[in-house]
Amino acid sequence: MKLQLLAISALCASASLHAEEKKIFNGKDLTGWEGNTKLWSVQDGAITGKTSDSGETKIDHNTFLVWKAGKVSDFELSFKYRIEKGNSGVQYRSKLLDPGKFGPIVAGYQADFEAGKTYSGILYEERERGILAQRGQKTEIGDEGKPKVTGSVGDSAEIQATIKEEDWNDYKIIAKGNHVQHFINGKQTVDVTDNDAAHAPKEGILALQIHAGPAMVVQFKDLVLKTDK
């Protein structure tokens, strides 16, 4: 028994040498993040994005809150989200196109979610190749940049049925090399192998999205990033 415990301890110590886990939101304010503070704030311990149908918080293009502490390559990101109306998501391995007068403009991979019933869990590439996997799909992307469905990770309607409306849901993104996976409430939503060498992003920024359109509210909390050291 003692030898088994020592072996387990050694394995845990070895794992800690190869991975680093950190909270990237302090639960109090937007320290470490950058965006339009007329749209983004912290409310009830959560990063909160709000728009309106008129005035200075009405937006005519998608805008983002950018994590400023570095870029990500191979990583796992877990967080909780809730959304009232509209569409949102988390950008990863992305690039800043324009700091923007009304907030940053970002392009790249997006772990999508929405208040509707179609897009939550998909892989979308903002301002680039578009939808790379619908919910429930396993896809491979070739040099032509088009996704090919190679299998399934689950039934789209069944996955959607587990997503809570206007309530907190758990989301996880795993990116390793050219392989990316999304999970909502423990259910895998997509599995993508991106072999488009000219366009597949290898590293980039993290950012949270507010989508253009009708007034919406989106919140994020418990953001934990795990990366290889």
Band of residue 11 on the pLDDT scale cut at 50, 70, 90: very low
**Dihedral of alpha carbons 130, 189, 203, 207, sign:** positive
CA distance 35 to 38: 9
Residue-wise pLDDT tens digits, 24-72: 999 999 999 999 999 999 999 999 999 999 998 999 999 999 999 999 9
**Dihedral of alpha carbons 167, 176, 104, 97, sign:** negative
Contact 104/115 with Cβ under 8 angstroms?
no
CA distance 82 to 91: 16
DSSP 96-123: EEE--TTS-EEEEEEEEEESSSSSTT-E
Average pLDDT over residues 101-105: 88
Specify the DSSP element, H or E, that contains 64: strand 63-67
Vertex 200, ends 120 and 153: CA angle to 5°?
40
pTM of the model: 0.91
Q: Give me 61's structure tokens.
A: 């293009």
What residue has token string 């993040």? 33
Residue-wise pLDDT tens digits, 190-216: 999 999 999 999 999 999 999 999 999
Taking the CB of residue 15, how many other CB atoms lie within 10 A of it?
A: 9
- The domains found in the chain, sorted by start residue, are 21-228 (2.60.120.560)
CA distance 69 to 185: 27
Average pLDDT over residues 145-159: 97
Amino acid at 3: L
pLDDT of residue 18: 53
